[in-house]
Amino acid sequence: MSKTKTKKLGLEQLQRIIDLCSSVEERGLDPFLVDVDDIIKIVKEFFPFWEKPEELCLDAEAINRLASVIKLQGEWVRHRSTSLYTDPFLLGEKIQKLDNESLVEIFLKVWRPIVELEQISPHSFLEAVKYWSQLLPLEERWRMPEVSEFEAGAVSRSDLIKERFLDEKTFAERLEALWEELKNRVGKDEKMLYWDFIGAETFEETMWRAYFTSFLVTYGYASLEIYPFENKVYIKPNEKPVPLSKKRNVVSVPFSISFEEWKKWRQQRGD
């Protein structure tokens, strides 16, 4: 048989296996209808012919479906070995032969309905009344906000910057500027204390500097040196940005920048 014909036959066989396993799985048929050994033999026989991704996918799908059937077979054996196993046909026969009264009589012997109450307590009643009295009428809650009409006009870029809708510099420009500043401020040690670098006259400016500094470090413009025993953190500018992918041990270091810490830093500086 030519290779093409064998491949075609093999693909048909795989599709048939998938369909059989799916029907067993979905329709709750006896999983032992599937002869696992036989299927594995077929899958093995045709496996050397598969070259294209879609052929290999079909092969994988067949194995996956077969695994599900094997799982069902395991469950079936487990269920049969439990005390709950009953032959469904025998039970079906019994159910058909019993009249409703007998079935009810049986059921009432094993039925222990849950006892539960739904009752409002005086406390929850008072809470509900309090809530109701404080609740605004729907008319007020759903009232649309009053809006007045304005004529559309043009806004200049400088106005947008003034209103803080736009930033004066781009993000990249800010990072570059901060990097240059760091390079200029470090002394012969080529590093400086982290807090001395991010600290500014106002807390708001300090937060901004800490925010951009985090990107300086992340993007490889600078690196941190941490001395936990001395409780000191230094920042060191890199000559060229070093991408994260080229660094070996990359760790995230969280810094807490609180108003109290900023005040403490200012006091230490003697401001």
Partner 1 sequence: MASAKRGLSKKAYYSRKVKRAAHLLFFRRHRKPGVKGWELRKKLGADYPKVLKLLDNYLARLDLKVNVVFEEGEQVQGEPIEKMKPEQLDKARFYITLRGDLTPTEAKMMGWRIDDIAGLAITISYIISRKGKVERKEVEKILKEKLPGWRAEANIDRYIRAGYITQDEKGFLYLDWRTKAEINQKTLVDLILGKEASPQSAD
> Does 75 sit near partner 1 (CB under 8 A)?
yes
Q: How many CB atoms within 10 Å of residue 59?
A: 19
- Contact between 123 and partner 1 by CB under 8 A: the answer reads no
Q: How far is the CB of 158 from partner 1 (least distance, A)?
A: 58
Q: Tell whether the torsion through CA atoms of 109, 111, 115 and 118 is positive or negative.
A: negative
Among residues 8, 79, 162, 264, which is the contact residue for partner 1, using CB under 8 A? Answer: 79
Six-digit token string for 42 = 């077929």
DSSP secondary structure letter of residue 33: G
Nearer to partner 1, 75 or 168 (CB): 75
Q: What are phi and psi of 237, to 5 degrees?
A: -75, 145
- Per-residue CA distances from 239 to 24, 186, 210, 220, 223 (Å): 66, 13, 21, 10, 11
Q: Is 101 in the site for partner 1 (CB under 8 A)?
A: yes
**Residue (57 or 103) nearer to partner 1, CB:** 103
Q: Figure out which of the listed residues 37, 54, 116, 139 binds partner 1, where binding follows CB under 8 A.
A: 116
Q: Give the x-and-dash track for 43-72 against partner 1 (CB under 8 A).
A: ------------------------------
Nearer to partner 1, 92 or 241 (CB): 92
| Bridging pattern class, strands 192-193 and 222-227 | unpaired
**In this structure, are residues 243 and 204 in contact, taking their beta carbons and an 8 Å threshold?**
no
DSSP structure class, residue 51: -
Q: Does 98 bind partner 1 (CB under 8 A)?
A: yes
Q: Per CB under 8 A, which region of 24-32, 63-71, 206-214, 248-256 contacts partner 1? A: 24-32
- Based on the shown chain and the rule CB under 8 A, indicate whether residue 110 belongs to the binding site for partner 1: yes
Strand ranges of the sheet holding 222-227, from the earlier edge strand across to the other edge: 192-193, 232-237, 222-227
Considering the rule CB under 8 A, would residue 77 count as an interface residue with partner 1?
Answer: no
Binding of partner 1 by 111 (CB under 8 A): yes
Which residues of the shown chain bind partner 1 in the complex (CB under 8 A)? 26-28, 75-76, 79, 83-84, 86-88, 90-92, 94-119
